[in-house]
Structure 1
Amino acid sequence: MADFQINEEVLTAYLSGGLNAAEAAAVEAWYDASGSNRKLLGEIYYILYVNDRINDTAAIDVEHALRQFKRRMHKGRRTTLRRNLLRIAAAAAIAVILLAGGLTTVSVSKRLTRPVTIYTQLGERSQAVLPDGTKVWLNSSSSVEYAASLFSRRRSVKINGEVYFEVSHDKRAPFVVSTNGLDIKVLGTRFNVRNDEDKHRVTTVLLEGAVKAYAWEQEDASVRLHPSQQLIFDTKTKTMQLTDVSSAERSINWIDGRFCFEHNTFEEIVTELNRYYNVNIRFMDEKLRQMRFSGDFRVEDGIYHIMSMLQLTYKFNYTIVGKDIEIHANPKP
């Protein structure tokens, strides 16, 4: 029994009478160990046995349902466990009657674990609160998909684009953000994640708390971040680079609709502007891509104002062609 681990498969077999006496005794000891264990076993019973009856709109014989469940119980189970589970079964049977009255035919398991998806369009920003209380801010063209399983305390989130999190603390329920081959595991913290697919990198900046990041299927090669640190994950090579940052708060200036460029390349700046404005900015001279600029702007300033301010450096000129912007190098004096 040393290798006997209790999980949803084992609990399902227990409820179906498929375990031997020693295994059933181990489940009963586990059941008695905590209220959360008792709750989980009740939830599994609810899904496995009550869900089968939801789509049956005929009259439900509650007493028969309880007798059928009682017969399934292993003969060696304790009286107290049987009494507690029967109480759960009675509550579940009442729920069946309510659900079978034509209000819904959606399976309980799917209904209770359906992911919550939030997304933003080009130029939009959004803020939301996830079902567990975690606060999220989505940058332009980003999405968050949240799911919490009944069979695990793990809270799972998949993202695209850029998202800032303030995770609701729960030491028993890890919060895991997944994006483009990288998992970021936290208990309670503030951090920003940006997935740049075109650049094959995921950038994580930690503002508060602690997180652990690891490439998918490489959890043994994790990297732990501390506040004011930045992790860049190369999605091609699966390598990670951890550095200190002077101001982690700058990573979330976008929440307030601010562009804060600090010695960024022109190519990086153009990429950021393209996320907000319905224009196509083209470099007519490839050398311009690596020029660097600094400056603070607001989204409402507009693309042409920002370009005009950058142009004051006398490093380039630009022309407007329809909805496009063409960037030219200044002729040499």
Structure 2
Amino acid sequence: MRKEIPWNLIIAKLERTINSDDDQLLAEWLSDSKNLQAYEEIAILWNKVQERADGYTPQPAHYWNQVAKQLNLPSVRKERKRLHSIRNIYKVAACIAVLLVSSLSFYFGTTWDFTSKTSQQCYTNVNGKSQVTLPDGSIVWLHSNTTLAYNTDFQKNNRIVNLKGEAYFEVAKDKHKRFIVHTDGIDVAVYGTKFNISSHPKNAETSVSLLEGSVAFTTANNPQESFLNPGEVAVYNKESHQVSITREDVDMNAAWATPTVQFSNRSLGKICTVLSDRFDVTIRIAPELADKYLYTFTLHDENIFEILELIASIHPIKYTFNNDGTIDIIQ
């Protein structure tokens, strides 16, 4: 049985508020070398932030940028009016460091199947996005609340992975071994291609967006293979078991993971939808602005601050970063 990260125990340990019973439970979890490695990474980052907080003289933007850089979070280019004390800023930063450290070295675990003498490698990404390189060289980006698992005999006889959540795949070519993704209600098979799958357990639908190459898929009630061409999206309804195939701008469906994103005459509403997925943040836009302006530009490695400043420089909008982590955009 796979053990999840005991965040409540870890935070209590780092805050030195853990009781003896919980300390024993945490010690049992830490007896696994991989769990210990993950804990040590979290503790190092936590301690760095706490050191900055003690006896600090005001430079909050400077040290926040250091934490942001380690966590792949947006930096602060100019200091704004402070709404919290210096110590509160770093308390928040420390909490973010612990909760989002999975975006850097996301949690992985191993379970054993003693009947087949194989084990399963499992990766879970909690927040943001994380990259996994599989044994065959395939690259997989995992979105928030996503788990990817495969047996440790991967690539010997087959290339099979199990997915819960959303992931973008760049599959290494191997004409002798198909790459198969098992997900909720639909299986996708390829030899080498780029595609995005969204299959969260709570969602009523599973979607497959094909960017390059060709994929075949089967569903829970139809073992006969159907095929997608680049630019097509297959949507499987988990209740009706029906599949619809449409042509869409599939680049936008995978824009949360791809290195660059090109917007050509895109509305602010559509751009904000992409930014929300790309940076895992809620963006609320005034209804009258959603289709009022069109934009053409290319994203590379800019953070959310830089992108919003660019948008505001093209057309007159105002944006606000709220204490709850959301963003509001108004005229």
- Structure 2 length-normalised TM: 0.51
User: Are residues 1:191 and 2:197 paired?
Assistant: no
What is the distance in 2 between the residues matched to 1:287 and 1:179?
39
Task: Indicate the percent of aligned positions where both proteins have the same amino acid.
Answer: 14
Cα 1:256–1:231 shift into 2, 3 Å? closer
> Unaligned stretches of 5+ in structure 2?
1-111
User: Are residues 1:164 and 2:169 paired?
Assistant: yes
- Decide which of 105, 109, 114 is 2:115's aligned counterpart: 109
Question: Do the aligned residues in 1 keep the contact of 2:171 with 2:179 (CA within 8 Å)?
Answer: no
Cα 1:266–1:216 shift into 2, 3 Å? farther
Aligned length: 211
Find the counterpart in structure 1 of residue 272 from structure 2.
270
Cα 1:192–1:263 shift into 2, 3 Å? farther
Question: Do the aligned residues in 1 keep the contact of 2:120 with 2:150 (CA within 8 Å)?
Answer: yes
What is the distance in 2 between the residues matched to 1:182 and 1:123?
25
What is the distance in 2 between the residues matched to 1:282 and 1:244?
24
What is the distance in 2 between the residues matched to 1:207 and 1:163?
12
Question: Do the aligned residues in 1 keep the contact of 2:196 with 2:254 (CA within 8 Å)?
Answer: no
- Residue 150 of structure 2 aligns to which amino acid in structure 1? Y
Question: Do the aligned residues in 1 keep the contact of 2:121 with 2:152 (CA within 8 Å)?
Answer: no
- Decide which of 319, 323, 326 is 1:324's aligned counterpart: 326
What is the distance in 2 between the residues matched to 1:244 and 1:251?
9
Instruction: State the 1:327 CA deviation.
Output: 1.5
Computed over aligned residues only, the root mean square deviation of the Cα atoms, in angstroms, reads: 3.7
Find the counterpart in structure 1 of residue 310 from structure 2.
309
Instruction: State the 1:128 CA deviation.
Output: 0.8
What is the distance in 1 between the residues matched to 2:113 and 2:182?
27
- Residue 232 of structure 1 aligns to which amino acid in structure 2? A
- Decide which of 128, 131, 142 is 2:133's aligned counterpart: 128
Instruction: State the 1:305 CA deviation.
Output: 1.5
User: Are residues 1:259 and 2:261 paired?
Assistant: yes
Instruction: State the 1:185 CA deviation.
Output: 1.6
What is the distance in 1 between the residues matched to 2:265 and 2:205?
21
- SS of equivalent to 2:311: helix
Cα 1:121–1:298 shift into 2, 3 Å? farther
- Residue 115 of structure 2 aligns to which amino acid in structure 1? S
What is the distance in 1 between the residues matched to 2:197 and 2:113?
35
For 1:1-333, list aligned pairs within 5 A.
108-109=114-115, 111-112=117-118, 114-130=119-135, 133-141=136-144, 142-147=146-151, 153-159=157-163, 160-169=165-174, 171=176, 173-186=177-190, 188-195=191-198, 197=200, 200-208=205-213, 210-220=214-224, 222-226=225-229, 228-235=230-237, 238-243=242-247, 257-277=259-279, 279-283=281-285, 285-290=286-291, 293-299=295-301, 301-314=302-315, 316-322=317-323, 323-328=325-330, 330=331
Cα 1:289–1:223 shift into 2, 3 Å? farther
- SS of equivalent to 1:219: strand
Instruction: State the 1:134 CA deviation.
Output: 4.7
> Unaligned stretches of 5+ in structure 1?
1-105
Question: Do the aligned residues in 2 keep the contact of 1:180 with 1:195 (CA within 8 Å)?
Answer: no
- Residue 164 of structure 1 aligns to which amino acid in structure 2? F
What is the distance in 2 between the residues matched to 1:250 and 1:281?
17
What is the distance in 2 between the residues matched to 1:107 and 1:143?
19
What is the distance in 2 between the residues matched to 1:207 and 1:137?
15
What is the distance in 2 between the residues matched to 1:118 and 1:158?
10
Instruction: State the 1:129 CA deviation.
Output: 1.9
CA offset digits 1:116-157 (Å, max 9, x no partner): 222434333314123xx251221442432223789x955432
- Residue 182 of structure 1 aligns to which amino acid in structure 2? I
- Residue 146 of structure 1 aligns to which amino acid in structure 2? Y
Question: Do the aligned residues in 1 keep the contact of 2:127 with 2:143 (CA within 8 Å)?
Answer: yes
What is the distance in 1 between the residues matched to 2:122 and 2:264?
33
Instruction: State the 1:306 CA deviation.
Output: 0.8
- Structure 1 length-normalised TM: 0.51
Instruction: State the 1:253 CA deviation.
Output: 6.7
- SS of equivalent to 1:282: strand
- SS of equivalent to 1:327: strand
- SS of equivalent to 1:309: helix
- Residue 128 of structure 1 aligns to which amino acid in structure 2? T
- SS of equivalent to 1:115: strand
CA offset digits 1:146-197 (Å, max 9, x no partner): 23789x95543222212213245253x44321334321122x2112123165
Question: Which one has the largest radius of gyration?
Answer: 1
What is the distance in 2 between the residues matched to 1:319 and 1:148?
47
